[in-house]
Homo-oligomer: A and B are copies of this chain.
Amino acid sequence: MAREDPEPANARRAASGRPLSLGLVQLAVGEDPTRNLAGAADAIADAAARGAEVICLPELFAHRYPCQREDTAHFDLAEPLGGATAEWLSKRAAAHGVVLVGSIFERRAPGLHHNTALIFGPDGERVGVYRKMHIPDDPLYQEKFYFAPGDLGFPCVETGRARIGPLVCWDQWFPEAARASALAGSEILIYPTAIGWQFDLGEDEDRAQHDAWETVQRGHAIANGVFVAAVNRVGFEPTGDAPDAGIRFFGQSFVCDPRGRVLARASADDSQVLVVECDLSLVEATRRDWPFLRDRRVDAYGALRSLLDD
């Protein structure tokens, strides 16, 4: 077959490189907040010791997932942007000199709450805030009861180490969120996540659901020429209504590169720290080969701002 160019683009790019070590902290979350924080601290320390420069925790990592049922008492878990969990994250980031992506149940005002991702820089300063834009409401994921949809758009956070697009869980299913964050400049989309199986539908259905979840995100990486990292909870958390009612969070946190190749994937059953080497120069290299951003028809995307084109 033709090799028109003796040194094609794919070969030329191999020489350069902009390495980033990314840490994914997949956690099982229990009833005791003190133990949860201690476990998260150990995992962050482990990731940092293994060289991770940017570390991400799961969605709402500090406590049990509170949205399995609608209970006003769960608003007691909420904290302001500068609350105790945020302060804890800041100290962890500074202690290890890393960029740390965390997630909190934000109390913005009485009766106004958000599902919020926070990014802290290596000096402990807060460098980014993202309020989850797409809010689910499914059996055992009754988030519309708890969280107002975000009002900060889809930001790109310049962390010094990488331009990060913080998004959260349900956003994973929306190509618009990924695209908007990439257009804002993000090189890595990072999703703190809490997703699992809520009914016993059998192994085939479990596999199909997980596969769809990973596939749609690999699609975002490909369509946008960015890295994608999803950091999930793992293990069973009960609803509290009946002994076996609850969510089995399916773990399987992963990172894929701008060509959609999965670089690493965590266990489906256990807490795990992944430290993954990413070459950020692949963002531009991939976009040179696959120049999708060049050809977008921004003149013809009006219908995307409607719920239906009817």
Residues of A within 8 A of B (CB): 1-5, 8, 10, 133-136, 138-139, 149, 153-154, 170, 173-176, 178-180, 183-185, 197-201, 205, 208, 211-212, 215-220, 222-223, 236, 239, 242, 244-246, 248, 259-261, 290-293, 295-298, 300-310
Please indicate the chain B residues that have their CB under 8 angstroms from the CB of A133 in the complex. Answer: 297, 300
State whether B303 touches A4 (Cβ < 8 A). Answer: no
A306 and B208 contact, CB distance less than 8 A: no
Decide if A2 touches B219 in the complex (CB within 8 Å). Answer: no
Contact call B136/A239, Cβ cutoff below 8 A: no
Number of copies: 2
Q: Is the CB–CB distance between B297 and A245 below 8 Å? A: no
| A5, A154, A170, A178 pick with most chain B CB within 10 angstroms | A154
Chain B residues, CB < 8 A from A305:
298, 301-302, 304-305
Q: B176 to A1, Cβ gap below 8 A?
A: no
Closest 4 CB pairs of A and B: A219-B219, A175-B175, A2-B245, A1-B200
**Which among A199, A293, A306 has the highest number of chain B CB atoms within 10 Å?**
A199
Within 8 Å by CB of A301, from B176, B260, B308, lies B176
Please tell me which one of the listed residues B2, B3, B134, B301 contacts residue A295 in the complex, with CB atoms under 8 A apart: B134
With both beta carbons as reference points, the residue of chain B lying nearest to A184 in the complex is identified as: B309
Question: Which residues from B are CB-within-8-Å of A212?
Answer: 222, 259-260
Measured between C-beta atoms, what is the minimum distance from A259 to chain B in Å? 5
Residues in B with CB closer than 8 Å to A220 are 175, 219
For residue A241, give the distance in angstroms from its CB to the closest CB of chain B. 8
24 contacts between A and B (CB under 8 A): A1-B199, A1-B236, A1-B244, A2-B198, A3-B199, A134-B295, A154-B303, A173-B222, A173-B292, A174-B297, A175-B178, A175-B223, A176-B296, A179-B304, A185-B310, A208-B261, A215-B218, A215-B222, A216-B222, A293-B307, A293-B308, A298-B304, A298-B306, A304-B305
